[in-house]
């Protein structure tokens, strides 16, 4: 149980909010404030999920992997898996714990490998190539003076980048978005029964596609990430012997690279553009002083936090902020709330492109599970905003066509639809 509540903003208390409702998912900021003031460790009613919202508490939890485990694979299956869904998954490779759901020492083996794949020299060498993609995308709509921003820009940019790096031909990326959406929805655990079947079919289709791709790269190596993965040996976490990755491990790593490589970047650029349009003076400041864009990107990551929360499994009884957490409970570490914690960020709900501590955010997590694609995402965002702000002006949201509500997902946060009007600069 949580501590007794005291009066919060406008006399509200945590029980006045439904975390899973579309209304709260769209605008959770008052809920976050109430929780941080009254119940920073809050048992969501009717669940065994404790939501943690304070920045300092989350940072401590991220360091304690022995008590708070990343191994939530079983929880993704749900309490009573649907037989049809189970049968679909059984037709392909079964999940194994590599990065996001692995704890030390097993996690270290895979993280070392992925760090080599996402090394700084490789990402830095991609800047001109990213710039080419960005300007090609803008060329496709700039003469019209309007665009479907998500469909024409923020989705294809990271999808093309990660597909190119994996070695997937552009002609074969049409299914990438659907596959990625299904992985994201499964992680959130908010899919309807019909969506669970759709997600299972998409995930299995992804697996067979990449199994064939891995086999091709073993026979015909290229300069891409899949070649790196299939031809690199790792130290077996159990025996210490060197061996190649098996197909289950390859599938796990590839799905995480794909989702982390596009879903969150799409949401961050989209949300950042809406925030800048809603703050026209800051938009003008960035256009006049593009040297501020790197800090603005950090502020956008803080504000948007596209990976808005992530799970932890409680391995033994614990206590946080005086609240008893029984073994077997789930924690929802709410990064989105922590990045608006008033103890660290002044006026946290206001966009401030010159915020001095903007990069104190934990949008990419922290510690051993810090997102390995963070450098890639930052690079894409910087290149994207530099190009957009240099070529477009008077950007406005086309409110008749846009749906600025958020997808029903408690793990990943993304706007549904954004149409823009603008002038050529």
Report if residue 61 sits inside a domain.
no
Report if residue 163 sits inside a domain.
yes
**CATH number of the domain bearing residue 129:** 1.10.630.10
Report if residue 59 sits inside a domain.
no
Task: Give residue 9's pLDDT.
Answer: 56
- Average of pLDDT values for 257-272? 89
Neighbours of 160 (CB within 10 A): 21
- Average of pLDDT values for 277-297? 97
Taking the model in full, what pTM does it have?
A: 0.92
| pLDDT confidence band for 3 (50 / 70 / 90) | very low
Lowest mean pLDDT among 19-33, 291-305, 362-376, 386-400: 362-376
Report if residue 318 sits inside a domain.
no
Query: Is the pLDDT reported for residue 10 higher than 70?
Result: no
Over residues 376-423, the pLDDT tens digits come to 999 999 999 999 999 999 999 999 999 999 999 999 999 999 999 999
How many helices and strands, by DSSP H and E, does the chain display? Answer: 18, 14
- Average of pLDDT values for 216-223? 92
Q: Write the CA distances from 185 to 131, 320, 382, 409, 425, integer angstroms.
A: 30, 29, 27, 7, 38
Using the structure block, give the residue that is written with the tokens 């003469």.
143
Report if residue 219 sits inside a domain.
yes
Do 144 and 415 contact (CB within 8 A), yes or no? no
Report if residue 131 sits inside a domain.
yes
The backbone torsions φ and ψ at residue 115, rounded to the nearest 5 degrees and listed phi first, read -60, -35
Task: Give residue 1's pLDDT.
Answer: 30
Query: Is the pLDDT reported for residue 80 higher than 80?
Result: no
Over residues 227-239, the pLDDT tens digits come to 989 988 888 767 7
Say how many domains are in the chain: 1
Do 123 and 375 contact (CB within 8 A), yes or no? yes
Spatial separation of the C-alpha atoms in residues 220 and 205, rounded to whole Å: 23
Classify the C-alpha dihedral 224-172-271-49 as positive or negative.
negative
Q: Write the CA distances from 367 to 5, 59, 62, 276, 371, integer angstroms.
A: 32, 8, 6, 30, 9
Assign 3-class secondary structure to 130-179: HHHHHHHHHHCCHHHCEEEHHHHHHCHHHHHHHHHHHCCCHHHCCCHHHH
Contacts of 191 (CB under 8 A, 6+ apart): 185, 199
Task: Give residue 78's pLDDT.
Answer: 64
**In this structure, are strands 310-314 and 68-69 parallel, antiparallel, or unpaired?**
antiparallel
Report if residue 133 sits inside a domain.
yes
Q: Is 284 left (phi over 0), alpha (psi -120 to 50) or beta?
A: alpha
How many degrees, rounded to 5, is the angle at CA 286 between CA 29 and CA 350?
15
- Domain span at residue 266? 71-313+372-424
Task: Give residue 233's pLDDT.
Answer: 87
Can you list the alpha helix ranges (DSSP code H) found in 189-323?
193-219, 225-230, 247-278, 280-288, 293-304
If residue 69 lies in a helix (H) or strand (E), which one and from where to where? strand 68-69
Report if residue 248 sits inside a domain.
yes
Spatial separation of the C-alpha atoms in residues 250 and 351, rounded to whole Å: 40
Do 323 and 262 contact (CB within 8 A), yes or no? no
Spatial separation of the C-alpha atoms in residues 207 and 406, rounded to whole Å: 28
Over residues 115-172, the pLDDT tens digits come to 887 778 888 889 999 999 999 999 999 999 999 999 999 999 999 998 888 888 888 8
Over residues 326-378, the pLDDT tens digits come to 999 999 999 999 999 999 999 999 999 999 999 999 999 998 999 988 999 99
């Amino acid at each position: 149980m949580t501590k007794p509540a005291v009066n919060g903003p406008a006399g509200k208390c945590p029980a006045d909010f439904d975390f899973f409702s579309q209304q709260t998912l769209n605008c959770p900021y008052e809920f976050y404030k109430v929780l941080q003031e009254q119940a920073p460790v809050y048992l969501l009613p009717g669940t065994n999920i404790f939501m943690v919202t304070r920045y300092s508490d989350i940072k401590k939890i991220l360091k304690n992997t022995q008590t708070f485990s990343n191994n939530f694979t079983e929880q993704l299956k749900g309490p009573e898996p649907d037989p049809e869904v189970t049968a679909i998954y059984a037709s392909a490779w079964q999940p194994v714990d590599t990065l996001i759901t692995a704890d030390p020492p097993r996690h270290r083996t895979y993280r070392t490998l992925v760090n080599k794949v996402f090394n700084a020299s490789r990402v830095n060498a991609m800047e001109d190539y990213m710039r080419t993609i960005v300007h090609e995308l803008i060329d496709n709509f700039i003469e019209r003076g309007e665009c479907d921003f998500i469909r024409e820009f923020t989705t294809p940019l990271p999808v093309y980048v990660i597909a190119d790096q994996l070695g997937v031909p552009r002609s074969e990326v049409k299914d990438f978005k659907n596959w990625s959406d299904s992985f994201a929805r499964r992680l959130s655990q908010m899919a309807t029964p019909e969506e669970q079947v759709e997600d299972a079919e998409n995930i299995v289709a992804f697996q067979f596609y990449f199994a064939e791709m891995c086999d091709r790269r073993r026979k015909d190596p290229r300069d891409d990430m899949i070649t790196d993965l299939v031809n690199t040996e790792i130290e077996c976490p159990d025996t210490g012997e060197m061996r190649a990755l098996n197909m289950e491990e390859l599938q796990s790593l590839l799905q995480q690279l794909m989702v982390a490589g596009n879903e969150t970047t799409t949401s961050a650029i989209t949300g950042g553009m809406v925030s800048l349009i809603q703050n026209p003076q800051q938009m003008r400041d960035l256009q006049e002083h593009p040297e501020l864009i790197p800090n603005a990107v950090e502020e956008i990551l803080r504000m948007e936090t596209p990976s808005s929360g992530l799970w932890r499994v409680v391995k033994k009884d614990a206590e946080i902020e005086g609240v008893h957490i029984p073994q077997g409970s789930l924690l929802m570490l709410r990064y989105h709330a922590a990045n608006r914690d008033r103890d660290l960020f002044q006026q946290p709900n206001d966009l401030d492109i010159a915020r001095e501590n903007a990069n104190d955010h934990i949008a990419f997590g922290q510690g051993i599970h810090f997102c390995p694609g963070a450098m890639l995402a930052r690079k894409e965002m910087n290149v994207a905003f530099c190009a957009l702000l240099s070529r477009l002006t008077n950007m406005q949201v086309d409110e008749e066509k846009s749906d600025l509500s958020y997808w029903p997902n408690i793990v990943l946060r993304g706007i549904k639809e954004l149409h823009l009007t603008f002038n050529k600069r």
